[in-house]
A and B are shown apart, each in its own frame.
Chain A
Amino acid sequence: MKPAAFDYVAPTSLDAALTALADGGYDAKPIAGGQSLVPLMAFRLAVFGQLVDLGRIEELQGVARDGDELVIGAATRQAAIAKDALVAEHAPVLAQATGWIGHQQIRNRGTIGGSICHADPAAEYPATAVALDATIDVASTRGRRSIPAAELFEAAYTTTLEPDEVAVAVRIPVRRPGEGTAIFEVARRPGDFALAGCVVRVATSGGAVIDARVLAFGVGGAPIRLAAAEAALAAGAGVGSQELTAALQADADGLTPPEDAQATSAYRHSIVVHVANTAIAEAIADSQ
């Protein structure tokens, strides 16, 4: 047994889980798929007095359409999202992002809410959620609130959630006509953490880009908007144009990517330009 000892509860209702988390305070921790949390516990980088398992709560599962939004239960498994018909139709880039997450054995257990709340800097879902203007519904015994994804991610592994709050659902606006999306990343091996990646959503009118979201991940603590590239695209700069290339370079110059055994900071700098260019081209092609 590698993790430190802890108590474990697996409530079947959200209210019971919220009560357990409120009672446990900082010593209690929600666990969803556990694919990031359990390794941290095995290394004893994380130690908790109590785990509150969200895996047996029915209302946190499943994908549904609610008006102009897809509502995805926070504990919905990544493997289920990858093959969900509603996701494929209304938020296809979320399914594509899922394919980049770990391996099948991981996706069979990992959840969308868990990935978003864990907020790994190299994770695909947080950047995708921001690119799609998603909203995260969260709950605690004190009540419910909705947090725009753009306001959720503060720093590496750090969100604006309070310790007693859990994600209940991820709301994603359904794809509108003329929209195009894409995700692309570079990793040492398939399934490894991305050295750098990019999620792009463009809105077009009459075939021309009028608005863009360009989100980089793996190059900072939280998903990072490449604002110069977004502005250049909205102003009509095309793929491979001088304007877009200069804008991407300016965005990259503003980053200080991490340096580790996998890649130097300089290498990540060059990759982020490459993955952004690739994802932008694919998103525009997708919109046509």
Chain B
Amino acid sequence: MSRQQVEMTVNGRVHAGEVEPRLTLVDFLREDCALTGTHTGCEQGVCGACTVLVDGEPMRSCLMFAVQADGAQVTTIEGIGGGREGLTPVQQAFMDNHGLQCGYCTPGFIVTVEAFLRDTPSPSDEQIREALSGNVCRCTGYQGIIAAVRQAADQLAAEARS
């Protein structure tokens, strides 16, 4: 089976490589790009731990092959702050509200929520729960995560007004 050339922009940086078509996007990100912030959980599209943004939209990187992301703009948790610029309001809210414990699912949640609040600046509680429904967390019981999204939404709305 022939290997194929693939090139994509990950967090603003071009990554190119020669890959087997069966290499999933999450494995490409973790092993070829050395971006291990995106976590592999179930590898069957159920848990959401591997969620990344592909051309701005949250998708499961275990349900895509790297060759399918050829030419795409990919954003992983490493591209969402937490570095020298400090935490984003979403990340800070997760810390403030016990929105994480072991942290394994957290990158998938943060990526999902960043896109959700970008598209839904003033969400209802029901919309928040619906937006989180595609990500599994086995530690927190979700209430802290819901509170974190509410806090981040309120803070971002206040910042948008000022």
Are A43 and B1 neighbours in the complex by a CB distance under 8 Å? no
Q: Which residues of B contact A42 (CB under 8 A)?
A: 43-44, 62
Contact status of A10 and B134, CB under 8 A, knowing A42-B43, A79-B57, A105-B58: no
Contact status of A103 and B22, CB under 8 A, knowing A5-B1, A79-B57, A109-B60: no
B63-71, B77-85, B148-156: which lies at the A interface?
B63-71
A106→B51 CA distance, assembly (Å): 10
A167→B38 CA distance, assembly (Å): 34
Q: Give min CB distance, A29 to chain B, whole Å.
A: 12
A8→B5 CA distance, assembly (Å): 11
A17-25, A31-39, A60-68, A173-181: which lies at the B interface?
A31-39
Q: Which of A1, A35, A53 makes the CB contact (< 8 A) with B63? A: A35
Interface string of A22-58 (1 = CB under 8 A from B): 0000000000001100110111000000010101000
List the B residue with the shortest CB-CB distance to A189: B133
A85 part of interface (Cβ distance < 8 Å): no
Are A7 and B64 neighbours in the complex by a CB distance under 8 Å? no
Are B22 and A3 neighbours in the complex by a CB distance under 8 Å? yes
Are B64 and A51 neighbours in the complex by a CB distance under 8 Å? no
Which chain B residues in 29-76 approach chain A with CB under 8 Å? 43-45, 48, 51, 54, 57-60, 62-65, 67-68, 70
List the B residue with the shortest CB-CB distance to A190: B133
Q: Give min CB distance, B100 to chain A, whole Å.
A: 19
Contact status of A106 and B67, CB under 8 A, knowing A5-B22, A6-B1: no
Q: Which residues of B contact A7 (CB under 8 A)?
A: 1-2, 21
Q: Give min CB distance, B88 to chain A, whole Å.
A: 19
Are B60 and A1 neighbours in the complex by a CB distance under 8 Å? no
Q: Give min CB distance, A19 to chain B, whole Å.
A: 18
A112→B147 CA distance, assembly (Å): 34
B93 part of interface (Cβ distance < 8 Å): no
Q: Which residues of B contact A34 (CB under 8 A)?
A: 63-65, 68
Are B57 and A108 neighbours in the complex by a CB distance under 8 Å? yes
Q: Which residues of A contact B4 (CB under 8 A)?
A: 8
B130 part of interface (Cβ distance < 8 Å): yes
A2 part of interface (Cβ distance < 8 Å): yes
Are B134 and A105 neighbours in the complex by a CB distance under 8 Å? yes
Q: Give min CB distance, A213 to chain B, whole Å.
A: 28
Are B130 and A190 neighbours in the complex by a CB distance under 8 Å? yes
B23 part of interface (Cβ distance < 8 Å): yes
Are B133 and A191 neighbours in the complex by a CB distance under 8 Å? yes
Q: Which residues of A contact B22 (CB under 8 A)?
A: 1-6, 41
Q: Give min CB distance, B133 to chain A, whole Å.
A: 5
Q: Give min CB distance, B28 to chain A, whole Å.
A: 10
B112 part of interface (Cβ distance < 8 Å): yes
Contact status of A39 and B45, CB under 8 A, knowing A8-B65, A105-B58: yes
Are A55 and B68 neighbours in the complex by a CB distance under 8 Å? yes
B8 part of interface (Cβ distance < 8 Å): no
A109→B60 CA distance, assembly (Å): 9
List the A residue with the shortest CB-CB distance to B134: A103
Q: Give min CB distance, A9 to chain B, whole Å.
A: 9
Are B24 and A1 neighbours in the complex by a CB distance under 8 Å? yes
Q: Which of B27, B116, B130 makes the CB contact (< 8 A) with A1? A: B27
Q: 13 A-B contacts, Cβ less than 8 Å apart?
A: A1-B23, A5-B21, A10-B67, A10-B70, A38-B64, A41-B22, A51-B65, A79-B57, A104-B116, A105-B48, A105-B60, A189-B133, A190-B133
18 extra A-B contacts, CB within 8 A, seeds A1-B23, A42-B43, A42-B62: A1-B24, A1-B27, A2-B22, A2-B24, A8-B4, A10-B68, A10-B70, A35-B45, A35-B63, A38-B65, A51-B65, A105-B48, A105-B58, A106-B60, A106-B134, A108-B57, A189-B133, A190-B133
Question: Chain B residues in contact with chain A, CB under 8 A?
Answer: 1-2, 4, 20-24, 27, 43-45, 48, 51, 54, 57-60, 62-65, 67-68, 70, 112, 116, 130-131, 133-134
